[in-house]
Structure 1
């Protein structure tokens, strides 16, 4: 807070042209009265200290909010470094909003609770200002001077930047359980039969804990450092749903139960499959974090998978590719052609919240590419083999390798075609002919040189062994 005050000193003066034109300590009091201007002093642990002009029609909260916002804008506008900006912004937001002391010129002292006023609208907690008022802010120390509440309340966490932290409340002597519940914005109506609270109270040295279970209606008196858990059975009435798209009659979000809705029921709610649904390529995607772990990350998962593996170096690249695919898709193995066949268990598969189901359009095509005369999609012909499609694509080119690969459209599995075998082609499959790269004289010369080097090395070793044996 000292840093903010020192940065702000010169910047803040220019914000008050009225204060510059009126000497608050001179005989201009009649001019001030005509303008309803009064003098109010701010002290204690606040963003800025000093004496400022105010209006007789201003209440404490309005005055403090104005002073705070003007100070905040003036200070942050002058900061260019992003790290300093974020640090100052966070520090400026941390000031006490309870147990504020308002001292009147006549000696009267009033405790101000702006946090409570903003929740209740009780203006007794937010009086009008008078000339000569002094507002003194206490130090905000939420590490020691706090109460904390969680459980069946409307607000039990605070999201600050990218951090989610428990709701801590500045403790004020005399706070009751009802006060903590008020600052948590009441009991959450989603919970049933909420009547009790559990209070965790540590000893002064933090070494022992006292658990106090109280009736909420008794309005238990709190102590500094109490941690409160409003007790209720966790409600499971959540917005469980899956999304289905593609070749179904009613695509979109389908509402489900928790762990009790089958894929068959989802398809029925979606109006069933369309006639042109490509069920062999349909997918249910759940993502890689199937256990819904809050600490899941791809990097951590990869390290855990590799930690005790003994795979060879040449296998590690394939493993990384497979793992990347697992992270990206997380597909579940289901045969959608059997979902409505009660003899199989595919239709009994239980869907989960946020599952994604895609039913593609049926594709009666086979794609032929690589070293063929006319690469592209060809109409699927039942019971025809690989060479039928190669002929349809104009035949194999002169630069082709003596290799043919069949890539299954559903699994992307690669099969090297043997001319003596008969392979079943399915719609959506791929046929690829690799290219035989041209070899120059330098290529063969280098290969011969490498082989000669190896042979020479072996011959040298053999000669050495012969000499040693003599």
Structure 2
């Protein structure tokens, strides 16, 4: 019995040597031929000084590329049907068996070794399995397995999602990919990497922070997608394994929550997780604002109807236990100097951006800091633009909908109010020559003060023959003088509607109501006109009125003539 066994092994080994010798001779002759009586295309490769085999059918099935999140641990990854692997056998000769597909029975088919079961084994375990079987042919074989393409993962998603059930996701996907499919109903062909925005848009009825993953080996894991996306906690969104079952719980209005606000970049309220700590919540909130006091934070907690304020120092943030419905507030550093600043543009000695005390520095102080006005400044045209921050909003902010409820304005009146609001938005009138007024104007972070240049011109436009800028002179003080210099009135000018628009404030005046200054504008309105049909109608109506008047005159004359004739006839009868 033992002799027969050794005899068979000897014949097998002799056949294998013959196969190798045939391949070498074929290579030396410049030809590559298949080994005799073999279904495998085992070719000699001069670059590796060994034999090389490629399963073309399996290689074509592995042309799809999947991104792997990090390196694969050969002691963790379990092989299974549809995995595509390469087996490298190092022994007396080097043999590389490329693109072997694990079949549905969990086997790979190796030349001379036949079927080898590798399913449900780690890569490290499968290497030992092949080594053990190859000992019958090779002396001290050393097998190395490379994963060419991992199989897609079949994942069960249950709970409060729109599409519970089996979902197929790309290999090495994380939990969010499976939940994204279960929420949107997408298939593996249409699923891209999950995003918090997409999940939050459809969330509200299911949990994103308390997700349970049950593995086939009986172990359990958890996921917190808020911590993963917003704080970069990779272990809070673990990589899935084949056959995992994800449980997503439903949320109600009474589900415990937690919030963080104050001097953080992204103040928010979200679902509570038992793993929450101040350190994690600060990271979820995007970190601190520049003015934050990073030495401590406050936890406001409601216990037995009593509101408690708990101060937590920085060194305790990673160990302090957050309870359901706790509210965290990061305070601002009251001793920190303000980073507020305001801009001054135009005709000042030193234009630029200057530090200010937010809401304390006055317009007069800002002007003084910038070195006051130059000789070319036009003080009457100066103005201030607010930055539009929340603390600068008007207390009685214009609200069209509210006014519609209580006002007797017409629709056109509301349109006009909207227009005026937009034109006047964030603009503050300042009189540079009035120090008392400037001292009462407070400056806020981002405000901008403009001091235009005095170009010693007056702009004449509208219905004049030559509109444009004209030099301002003390002798030309009347509107008529500037209109004459602009070529006089145009044919369609309405001379009675001539206005002076003041520089800076843009206030309209009649010519006799103000004195022209440098930077002012003179506007000449035109006679109103209508479209052609309206003009024709007007001409027809004018002719009709003219004809009616002539008819009335003729009728009057006829009536008077009749009266006179009657009177003369009566007098003749009497005589």
Match of 2:307 in 1: 211
The answer to whether residue 482 in structure 2 is matched with residue 389 in structure 1 is yes
Match of 1:11 in 2: none
- The one of the two structures with greater contact order (alpha-carbon pairs below 8 A, sep at least 6) is 1
The answer to whether residue 421 in structure 2 is matched with residue 333 in structure 1 is no
Contact 1:140 1:170 in 2 (8 A): no
Match of 2:419 in 1: 324
**Greater Cα offset, 360-369 or 134-143:** 134-143
Match of 1:30 in 2: 118
Distance in 1 between residues matched to 2:421 and 2:354, nearest whole Å: 25
Match of 2:472 in 1: 380
Match of 1:101 in 2: 213
What secondary structure, in the 3-state scheme, does the structure 1 residue paired with 2:460 have? strand
Query: Residues 257-406 of structure 1 correspond to what in structure 2 (within 5 A)?
Result: 257-286=357-386, 292=392, 301-305=399-403, 307-309=405-407, 320-321=415-416, 324-330=419-425, 331-339=427-435, 344-383=436-475, 384-396=477-489, 400-403=493-496, 405-406=498-499
Distance in 1 between residues matched to 2:200 and 2:187, nearest whole Å: 9
Distance in 2 between residues matched to 1:280 and 1:73, nearest whole Å: 66
Distance in 2 between residues matched to 1:310 and 1:336, nearest whole Å: 39
Query: Residues 170-249 of structure 1 correspond to what in structure 2 (within 5 A)?
Result: 170-172=272-274, 180=281, 183-184=284-285, 190-191=292-293, 194=296, 196-200=298-302, 209-216=305-312, 221-223=321-323, 225-230=324-329, 232=331, 239-249=339-349
Decide which of 115, 137, 149 is 2:259's aligned counterpart: 149
Distance in 1 between residues matched to 2:388 and 2:279, nearest whole Å: 44
Distance in 2 between residues matched to 1:400 and 1:186, nearest whole Å: 64
Q: CA deviation at 1:120?
A: 8.1
Q: Residues 281, 227 of structure 1: CA spacing in aligned structure 2 closer, same or farther, 3 A cutoff?
A: same
Q: Residues 446, 357 of structure 1: CA spacing in aligned structure 2 closer, same or farther, 3 A cutoff?
A: farther
Query: Residues 79-90 of structure 1 correspond to what in structure 2 (within 5 A)?
Result: 90=201
Distance in 1 between residues matched to 2:289 and 2:510, nearest whole Å: 63
Contact 1:288 1:327 in 2 (8 A): no
Contact 2:461 2:522 in 1 (8 A): yes
Distance in 2 between residues matched to 1:210 and 1:361, nearest whole Å: 63
Decide which of 19, 26, 42 is 2:155's aligned counterpart: 42
Distance in 2 between residues matched to 1:363 and 1:252, nearest whole Å: 22
Match of 1:442 in 2: 540
Q: Residues 450, 346 of structure 1: CA spacing in aligned structure 2 closer, same or farther, 3 A cutoff?
A: farther
Q: Residues 255, 53 of structure 1: CA spacing in aligned structure 2 closer, same or farther, 3 A cutoff?
A: closer
Match of 2:135 in 1: none
Decide which of 67, 76, 91 is 2:202's aligned counterpart: 91
Query: Residues 44-63 of structure 1 correspond to what in structure 2 (within 5 A)?
Result: 44-45=157-158, 49-50=166-167, 54=171, 63=174
Q: CA deviation at 1:261?
A: 0.7
Based on CA coordinates, which of the two structures has the bigger radius of gyration? 2
Q: Deviations over 1:321-366 (max 9, x none)?
A: 4652333334323211334xxxx33245211233232222213222
Distance in 2 between residues matched to 1:231 and 1:346, nearest whole Å: 37
Q: Deviations over 1:153-186 (max 9, x none)?
A: 64653xxxxxxxx2314423x7566665565567
What secondary structure, in the 3-state scheme, does the structure 2 residue paired with 1:390 have? helix
Distance in 2 between residues matched to 1:297 and 1:212, nearest whole Å: 36
Contact 2:156 2:246 in 1 (8 A): yes
Contact 2:358 2:444 in 1 (8 A): yes
TM-score for the superposition, normalised by structure 1? 0.64
Q: Residues 328, 237 of structure 1: CA spacing in aligned structure 2 closer, same or farther, 3 A cutoff?
A: farther
Match of 1:460 in 2: none
Distance in 2 between residues matched to 1:386 and 1:127, nearest whole Å: 80
CA RMSD of the aligned region, Å? 5.0
Decide which of 226, 231, 244 is 1:134's aligned counterpart: 244
Distance in 1 between residues matched to 2:450 and 2:549, nearest whole Å: 54
Gaps of 5+ in 1: 1-13, 80-85, 158-165, 204-208, 453-470
Gaps of 5+ in 2: 1-63, 67-80, 85-100, 109-116, 127-144, 192-196, 530-534, 551-575
Paired residues in the alignment total 396
What secondary structure, in the 3-state scheme, does the structure 2 residue paired with 1:350 have? coil
What secondary structure, in the 3-state scheme, does the structure 2 residue paired with 1:274 have? coil
